[in-house]
Amino acid sequence: MAVAEPPPLDILVRDPEGFTIWSGPPFSSGEPSVKLNKVPCTSTKFSEDGSKLMVIRSDSVISIYDSKNLVEIRSLQVPNLLAASISPCGTYVQTFQKSTSPQDKNVVVWKTETGDSVYQVFQKNMTKTTWPSVRFSSDEAVACRLATNEAQFFDPGDFSKGITHRLRVPGIAAFDLSRNPGSHVAAFVPESKGMPGNVQIFACRKELQNQPVARKSFFRCSSVQLSWNSGSTGLLVVVQSDVDKTNQSYYGESKLNYLTTDGTYEGLVPLRKEGPVHDVQWSSSGKEFAVVYGFMPAMATIFDKKCNPLLELGSGPYNTIRWNPKGKFICLAGFGNLPGDMAFWDYLEKKKLGATKAELSVTSEWSPDGRYFMTATTAPRLQVDNGIKIFHHNGSLYFKRMFDKLFQVDWKPESPDKFGDITELSKSVDSLKLEETTRQGQGSKTTQASSKTASSNPSVQKPAAYRPPHAKAAAAVQAELFGVSPSGEMSKNALKNKKKREKQREKKAAEAAGGS
């Protein structure tokens, strides 16, 4: 059976003039080639499977591109547009428009194939927890929406049916649908009237929604971050409180909880160090998760699905962890207000591969094939030193380009299954590096001789460090008093006097020897 050719890696780059598509690494001539010339826009977003690209223009026009052929397949005119989102497989686009009255149904779901509106609803405002309004599972088999005291479910194949069933959860403030598969939904209810907040997990099927399959309650809870694993069997819950009662942190406190859909585990993840939970990420298999936690220097630990520690990644100035799509390599980094240190690990071999720095990084992500790690410094977070860096899986720098202003950089999403085994790929990369090293070592004799001559020559003297005027004046006084020049060398008079003293000592020593 012939192995299918892996898809090319593509990179989307957006600056003030618009977006363009680069061919991804490896670059044939050391520089990326342009696959799509610049298109003016204000925002872009790939669908989760990478099949479609949503482009928002300044005149409230949404264009849908076929990511493979890079051609526009649909255009939507949406006046007063404030936000837009594309579904995981690119089947639907949601838009949020400025509304003047509750009668205006300002959230619209459009079908990209036909450009028709398939669902409309009114939504008063848009926040991080309420947008996108309709959530889809990764395969678009399940769709649901957060409403007052309930979650509403739809048939993604036919929105004309309206709400197919409702899940009643009094006080629900946020929810998260499991992605792959869309079998469960997690609901968060905050503290109210002395009652603790809680997170509950429900099955998505109507006949299984009578009771939650898992539940965890907690006091001192202002907000939560919900993270499902692949397989939808485990949920990580970062519970954040605005106030730290121990007064150890100005930013409040956070705890990491873990719940399983089979009810085998409901509780805290046993972290070895006190302090905030900086970042958490599941592996692609959904069998392990990595956590960066604790006061600086933070610790990083990998746990299995039963919360048993598997590997310690050490401690350092870290607040970010990125697990590559193949589950083999891990990047541990310190971005944001940290210096940008990065450590690269081979999880399967349990060893550290290398370390480097990417200062001022705003975004970071592994390539879909798991071989390259890209960081970017983008506006408006940072207005200076904007640029892109691409590293090998061991941390060695592969490519760098600076921009006057850069808004967005993204890999085009692809399924990791479309690419070969990462071990074979890394071996081929190492063999290429070895060949390059060998060729460099077999340089001409003239080059080697010139390098030896250069190494034998004394090094160029570095310029002296700046010294303030008062220090120079003090040095001049010292020279007058003790006969020492500002540079540390003795003056002519001091040398003359020193020779006289040495001769006098020799003369006295000779006279003493003659008298005895």
Of 478, 444, 407, 500, the residue nearest 15 (C-alpha): 407
In this predicted structure, the answer to whether residue 451 has a pLDDT above a threshold of 50 is no
Q: Among residues of the chain, what percentage have pLDDT more than 70?
A: 83
Q: Give residue 493's pLDDT.
A: 72
Residue pair 65/52 in contact by the 8 Å Cβ criterion: yes
Prior bond of 156 cis (ω within 30°): no
Q: Give residue 454's pLDDT.
A: 40
Residue with the two structure tokens 């121990």: 246
Band (21; pLDDT cuts 50, 70, 90): very high
Q: Give residue 251's pLDDT.
A: 65
Q: Give residue 466's pLDDT.
A: 56
* Whole-structure pTM value: 0.77
42-70 average pLDDT score: 91
Q: Give residue 362's pLDDT.
A: 92
Spatial separation of the C-alpha atoms in residues 355 and 92, rounded to whole Å: 42
- 412 torsion bin: left (phi>0), alpha (psi -120 to 50), beta (else): beta
Please list the residue range(s) of the chain that carry CATH number 2.130.10.10. 137-268, 273-417
Q: What is the pLDDT of residues 327-362, one digit of tens each?
A: 889 999 999 888 999 999 998 888 999 999 999 999
Band (422; pLDDT cuts 50, 70, 90): low
Q: Give residue 505's pLDDT.
A: 85
Band (482; pLDDT cuts 50, 70, 90): very low
Mapped onto helix, strand or coil, the DSSP state of residue 58 is: coil
In this predicted structure, the answer to whether residue 445 has a pLDDT above a threshold of 60 is no
In this predicted structure, the answer to whether residue 447 has a pLDDT above a threshold of 60 is no
Spatial separation of the C-alpha atoms in residues 102 and 436, rounded to whole Å: 66
Q: What is the pLDDT of residues 196-205, one digit of tens each?
A: 889 999 988 8
Spatial separation of the C-alpha atoms in residues 360 and 336, rounded to whole Å: 7
DSSP H or E run through 76: strand 71-77
Band (248; pLDDT cuts 50, 70, 90): low
Q: Which residues contact 194 (CB under 8 A, 6 or more apart)?
A: none
Q: How far apart are the first and last CA of the chain?
A: 106
46: number of CA atoms within 13 Å, CB side?
A: 21
Q: Give residue 487's pLDDT.
A: 47
Q: Dihedral (C-alpha) 158, 179, 89, 4: value to the nearest 10 degrees? A: -130
DSSP per residue over 156-194, as a string? TT-GGG-EEEEEE-TT--EEEE-SSS--EEEEEE--BTT
Domain 137-268, CATH? 2.130.10.10
Residue with the two structure tokens 């094939």: 369
Band (249; pLDDT cuts 50, 70, 90): low
Band (397; pLDDT cuts 50, 70, 90): very high
268-287 average pLDDT score: 90
Q: What is the pLDDT of residues 360-387, one digit of tens each?
A: 999 999 999 889 999 999 989 988 889 9
Q: Give residue 296's pLDDT.
A: 86
Q: Give residue 455's pLDDT.
A: 41
Q: Among residues of the chain, what percentage have pLDDT more than 90?
A: 35
413-428 average pLDDT score: 72
462-487 average pLDDT score: 50
Residue with the two structure tokens 């220097």: 297
Q: Give residue 224's pLDDT.
A: 87
Any idea which of 44-58, 96-110, 121-135, 245-259 has the lowest mean pLDDT?
245-259
Residue pair 280/290 in contact by the 8 Å Cβ criterion: yes
Please list the residue range(s) of the chain that carry CATH number 2.40.10.480. 45-134
Of 281, 398, 386, the residue nearest 331 (C-alpha): 281
CATH class (in words) of the domain with range 45-134: mainly beta
CATH superfamily of 273-417: YVTN repeat-like/Quinoprotein amine dehydrogenase (2.130.10.10)
133-139 average pLDDT score: 90
Q: What is the pLDDT of residues 206-235, one digit of tens each?
A: 877 778 888 888 887 778 889 998 888 889
Count helices and strands in the chain by DSSP H and E runs: 4, 36
Band (452; pLDDT cuts 50, 70, 90): very low
Phi and psi angles of residue 326, each rounded to the nearest 5 degrees, phi first: -90, -10
Of 385, 415, 416, the residue nearest 403 (C-alpha): 385
Q: What is the residue-averaged pLDDT of the chain?
A: 82
The residue that leads in pLDDT, 201 or 424, is 201
Any idea which of 9-13, 216-220, 241-245, 269-273 has the lowest mean pLDDT?
241-245
* Token pair belonging to 332: 């541990």
Q: Give residue 243's pLDDT.
A: 66
Spatial separation of the C-alpha atoms in residues 215 and 259, rounded to whole Å: 8
